[in-house]
Amino acid sequence: MTQAQPDLLAKIATGIPGFDVFSEGGLPEGRSTLIAGTAGSGKTIFANQFLIEGIKRGENGVFVTFEESPQMLRKNMRGFNWDIQQWEAEGKWMFVDASPADHNLPLISGEYDLEPLISRLKHAINQVNAKRVAIDSLSSVFSYVPNMAQVRAILFKLAQILRELEITAVLTCERTIDYGAISRYGVEEFVADNVIIMRNALLKEKRRRTIEILKYRGVSHQHGEFPLTIIPHQGIVVIPFATDVLKSKSSSQRVTTGNEELNRMCGGGWFKGSIILVSGATGTGKTLMTTEFIDGGIKNDEKCLLFALEESHEQLLRNALGWGIDYEQMETAGKLKIICRYPETMGLESHFVKMREEIEEFKPQRVAIDSISALERISSSKGFREFLLTLNILFKEKGITTLCTANTANSLESDSITQSNISTNTDLIILLRYVEIYGEIKRGLAILKMRGSQHDKNIREISIDQNGMSIGQTFRHIVGILSGNLTYIDANRIDRLDDLQTEI
Amino acid sequence: MSQKLILKLYVSGNTLRSRQAIANLQTFCDRELPDNCAVEIIDLIEFPEIAELEKILITPTLVKVSPEPQERIIGDLSDTKVLSLVLNLPSHFPTTK
């Protein structure tokens, strides 16, 4: 419907990465947009970022602050590298300071109104010739005027002035709960054609920040909640799920796995740009497989980026050296970059934004994440699913061959949430399992699925030594490795089965 | 004789409420403080920069500039009890004797 007729309303950019994408251009120009959110959901930062983007584009701004004083705001926003003071000096930014004054509360004698707010706003807009206005927050107006009818009158007047002057405005308002009525006093009815909701919901002890466009009157936008993160030096970054999965590239070019026998098992190597999941319990050889994957890439003159979420840089170097691979030299040559970051150092969304930045900066052909399941413990399962999806789309878009490892909780069994979350958009799944044989622990490797190619269906024994991983014989006397229910089979019976098959 | 009172009354335009506030203040001063009170009336629609400087958000606002401490009353000043209280006129305090 909205597609058929062209949008009569233009949009203007907010400068919030991701937001301008999913809002299909930013905020409707010349209109007021209400940003409703609970305390700490990022409304003030949104308002600031919106004004700052304007200044970058030569559109000056006015900030009406009811809560924090201009001094506090200048100081707080400096943390994002935003120098408001300088813009004020240059006449590009003006505060209307309606924050609580330090003098005593006034006494009341008879009726009064909020007219000066209007005249001050008009004055400030004229002073800097503003195109953008932020009011933070409207809810405070209610604390000045106890009478609902007066509030309505003043908000109406505000909205009218902004409309007349063709100002694009961001008005914030408080919500008491993340899921419920839009705002405490129902202000949205009077002031804004457009409503955006910011949330900072607590789900299972984890905070999840999201942003949603509730309505844009007469203008198109994408629906649903999008995760966001607030990053030092950048402000808000929204993570829009790329909806254009179908644009992703698909290659039939094979690249080495870093292990000769594994290449053979996969019919000549992995496809370039595919996503590989290696799943197994601790100690089954996931990190080794990652190391060989990187080694193979470097030998092939591909740039590799390793995200290590469980081990320190030194540990990694030592491990790799133990298998005869010199990470340090690769790093010095600029072919390899190792980024060690413990999952708990930041939220999942921040991890994503950082990873994306690093990928865009280093431009690797191969990426390894060891392990992706470590990130699971810092987010809700919904958030983690979205993270994986978005990350995979990023890799697909860039045609990066990616290997992710996942820890299985149970050392013998195969099920894990990571696997069920990740497996639908991976191209290849490799299982590494402990196998118990007559009182001895061995390791097994199986290729569970490989898109677009034939592969070895046997469960093979692997051994690990100073030369890395060697893939050996098939486990012939055991069934039930994948299910974790091992059963030994008599060698004679297997021979008889083989004989039967050859006869047929 | 006590110190001279200096008052500033901020209003927004020539509205009914502004006129009411001015009239109420005038009556009060004439009655209670003849010759001992200087009143300046400032229209913030004309001088919005003063509103910004003085951080005035509500009109009418009456500011007692002197003597210290500064004090503010908001509203059309129809409640003269509040005025007496803020302007410190002892005759209007209820006597306990």
CB-based burial label for A239 (10 Å; 0-12, 13-18, 19+): buried
Cβ-contact B73, B84 below 8 angstroms: no
Which of A282, A284, A330, A323 has its CA nearest to residue A306?
Answer: A330
Q: What are the residues whose beta carbons fall under 8 Å from the beta carbon of A192, sequence distance 6 or more? A: A31, A32, A33, A34, A159, A171
Of the partner residues A96, A112, A124, the one whose CB lies closest to the CB of residue B60: A112
Each residue's pLDDT tens digit, B36-45:
888 999 999 9
- Could you give the count of Cα atoms lying within 13 Å of A80 in the half-sphere of its Cβ? 19
Q: What is the structure's pLDDT at A212?
A: 92
Helices A381-398 + A348-362 axis angle, to 10? 10
**Residue B18: strand, helix, or coil:** helix
DSSP SS3 for B91? helix
Give the rounded distance of the alpha carbon of A211 from its chain centre: 13
CATH fold, domain A245-499, is: Rossmann fold (3.40.50)
Which tokens go with A111?
């009726």
Peptide bond into A140 cis (omega under 30): no
User: For the residues A244-270, what does the mean pLDDT come to?
Assistant: 81
- Whether A108 and chain B come into contact, CB under 8 Å, resolves to yes
- Phi then psi dihedrals of residue A500, to 5 deg: -60, -45
> What's the CA gap between A63 and A96, in Å, rounded?
6
pLDDT of residue A435: 82
Q: Comparing C-alpha atoms, which of A74, A126, A346 is closest to residue A237?
A: A346
C-beta neighbour count of A148 within 10 angstroms: 11
Residue A251 pLDDT > 50: yes
pLDDT band of residue B24 (cuts 50, 70, 90) is: very high
pLDDT in tens, A79-115: 899 999 999 999 999 999 998 876 667 888 888 888 9
Q: What was the pLDDT predicted at A3?
A: 46
Any idea which fold A11-102+113-238 has? Answer: Rossmann fold (3.40.50)
pLDDT of res. A1: 41
CB A93 within 8 A of CB A63: yes
- Give me the pLDDT at residue B90, please: 61
Gap between the Cα atoms of A321 and A315, Å rounded: 10
A232 burial via Cβ count (<10 Å: 0-12, 13-18, 19+): exposed
**Which residue did the predictor score with more confidence, A436 or A277?**
A277
- Cβ contacts (< 8 Å) between A117 and chain B: which residues? 57
Interface contact B57, partner A, CB < 8 A: yes
pLDDT score recorded for residue A465: 86
Cβ-based burial of A332 (10 A; exposed 0-12, middle 13-18, buried ≥19): exposed
Token couple for A171: 């008005």
Q: Say yes or no to pLDDT of A261 above 80.
A: yes
pLDDT for residue A71: 93
Q: Residue A273: left (phi > 0), alpha (psi -120 to 50), or beta?
A: left
A-chain residues near B20 (CB < 8 A): 110
Residue of A nearest to B56 (CA): A116
pLDDT tier, B92 (very low <50, low <70, confident <90, very high otherwise): low
Return the pLDDT at A417: 45
Tell me if ipTM is over 0.85.
yes
Mean per-residue pLDDT, A294-309: 93
**Separation between Cα atoms, residue A214 and residue A192, nearest integer Å:** 12
Q: How many helices, marked H, and strands, marked E, lie in chain A?
A: 16, 25
Query: Which chain A residue is nearest to residue B61, measuring alpha carbons?
Result: A112
Contacts of A64 (CB under 8 A, 6+ apart): A95, A96, A98, A117, A121, A124, A133, A134, A135, A136
Q: What is the mean pLDDT of residues A127-134?
A: 95
3-state helix, strand, coil in chain B (%, to 5): 35, 25, 40
**Locate tokens 């958009």: which residue?**
A425
Using DSSP, state whether A446 is helix, strand or coil.
strand
pLDDT at A500 over 80: no
Query: Is the distance from CB of A378 to CB of A347 less than 8 angstroms?
Result: yes
- For the stretch A417-434, what's the b/e string if a residue is b when 16 or more beta carbons lie within 10 angstroms of its beta carbon? ebbebbbebbbbbbbbbb
Q: CB–CB of A81/A48 below 8 Å? A: no
Q: Tell me if A11-102+113-238 shares its fold with A245-499.
A: yes
Q: What is the pLDDT of residues A314-347, one digit of tens each?
A: 999 999 999 999 999 999 999 999 999 999 888 8
| B12 in A contact zone (CB under 8 Å) | yes
How confident is residue A190, by pLDDT bands cut at 50, 70 and 90? low
Planar angle of CA A455, A456, A460, nearest 5 degrees:
145
Neighbours of A280 (CB within 10 A): 25
CATH number of this structure's domain B5-90 = 3.40.30.10
pLDDT confidence of residue A408: 79
> Does the pLDDT at position A6 exceed 90?
no
Express each pLDDT in A453-484 by its tens digit.
Answer: 888 888 898 888 888 888 988 887 777 776 66
The residue in chain A having the minimum alpha-carbon distance to the alpha carbon of residue B74 is: A108
Quick one: pLDDT at residue B66?
A: 84
Q: Which residues of B touch A135 (CB under 8 A)?
A: none
Average pLDDT of the segment spanning A14-43: 90
Give contacts of A108 with chain B, Cβ < 8 Å: 73-75, 79, 82
Q: List CB contacts (< 8 A) between A107 and chain B.
A: 71-74, 82, 85-86
Q: Domain limits of chain A?
A: 11-102+113-238, 245-499
Instruction: Measure the CA–CA gap between A371 and A344, rounded to whole angstroms.
Output: 14
The shortest CB-CB distance from B56 to any of A109, A116, A122 is to A116
Q: Determine the average pLDDT of the residues in B6-27.
A: 93
A298 vs A217, which has greater pLDDT? Answer: A298
Instruction: Yes or no: say if A343 and A309 are a contact pair by the CB < 8 Å rule.
Output: yes
DSSP string of A317-338?
A: HHHHHHTT--HHHHHHTTSEEE
Tell me if the bond preceding B34 is cis, omega within 30° of 0.
Answer: no
* Interval A65-74: pLDDT, tens: 998 899 999 9
Nearest CA in chain A to B50: A120
pLDDT of residue A48: 94
Residue B97 pLDDT level (bands cut at 50, 70, 90): very low
Q: State how far Cα A411 lies from the chain centre.
A: 30
Taking an 8 Å cut-off on Cβ atoms, the answer to whether B48 and A111 are in contact is no
Structure confidence at residue A188 (pLDDT) = 63
The one-letter amino acid code at A287 reads T
Q: Largest alpha-carbon pair distance within chain A?
A: 107
pLDDT at residue number A88:
95
Instruction: Give the residue among A37, A64, A59 at the shortest CA–CA distance from A174.
Output: A37
Q: Which of residues 72-91 of B touch A (CB under 8 A)?
A: 72-80, 82-83, 85-86
Chain A residue with the nearest C-alpha to that of B86: A107
